[in-house]
A = this chain, B = another copy of it.
């Protein structure tokens, strides 16, 4: 009989997010999800509700319910439909229906078991239900582990824009079980690697070197490589967010590749490309814009582009047309009074937020997109 991942693994890695009375730990390791010790920090309460989706729940919900059974009298499960297209007000309301249908009080703990969509919706539901109940993130995708674990951003989409309705709301605990990444479809693994790669150019060139040296191990899902990638990503994000919890300035550098990326997602219709795929391609565009603005050289752009490609991500944007790209970017949350804000690399390992002349953006789009 093969040893389980948890028997093979070391004690969990831990990253502490310091936010005063909203501080919380992130645990990172294999076999955490079905180990009741992972949840020792969760406030005691009568009931818990696991919110998951129809893809993830059959794989992991039973194990999580079992791990929580000792801490809660009742552990209920709600399966939402899977996919970004369901990240809306109607699906959010299913969580409220479930909570109120069970007479859940304000000590009920919500567990988000799934990727970013489940995490974003469950977090916003937790922020809003009775004006705030505790919640725990159990992210099962690489993207959610390295991105949603830190920052407290929760949201749903609106037909006219992505993540337009939400709250800043911190979890009590994040449990990143690396075992769940073994069942992740390859496209989703690559999408997660886009956000891992991002932390290099904006903050830590040594981490970019490490990713380059280990990209094959990451794509092959080697647990030790994944553990370090998740841990270092969370640490860098925590450093940035710790200085700017409510996204008034600095934190915006985490959106490297996202202005272009959101336009791709929105222009194709949510769900056509994965968020991480759009961000991967968006980083190529943002790097090219950075080069035109004098922050990096052609070799840097080439290096980053190759790494994104090796991660299994698209490096050519869809043919939406430059006008449509610009229109979509103008309604981005980061825009102000109609001016598009881009995150650009001003020198390797450092990013800033700035506007850019439309003409330069059009050059980048012409260079980076498929022909119409």
Chain A residues proximal to chain B, CB less than 8 Å: 46, 89, 93, 96-97, 100-101, 103, 105-107, 127-132, 153-155, 158, 160-161, 164-168, 246-247, 330-331, 333, 335-338
Contact = CB atoms under 8 A, between A and B. Distances in A.
Contacts of A164: 96, 100, 129-130
Contact of A168 (B96, B131, B330): B131
A160 B336 contact: no
B165 A167 contact: no
A96 B131 contact: no
A128 B166 CA distance: 5
Contacts of A154: 131
B131 A331 contact: no
A129 B165 CA distance: 5
Contacts of A131: 153-155, 166-168, 247
The main secondary structure of chain A at its interface with chain B is mixed
8 contacts: A96-B158, A100-B160, A103-B338, A105-B338, A106-B333, A128-B165, A128-B167, A132-B246
A31 to B, nearest CB: 32
Contact of A127 (B129, B160, B167, B330): B167
A139 to B, nearest CB: 20
Given A153-B131, A166-B131, A105 B158 contact: no
Contacts of A103: 330-331, 338
Contact of A337 (B105, B132, B158, B161): B105
A66 to B, nearest CB: 23
A313 B269 CA distance: 54
Contacts of A46: 337
A96 B368 CA distance: 33
Contacts of A89: 89, 93
A75 to B, nearest CB: 15
A161 B331 contact: no
A103 B338 CA distance: 8
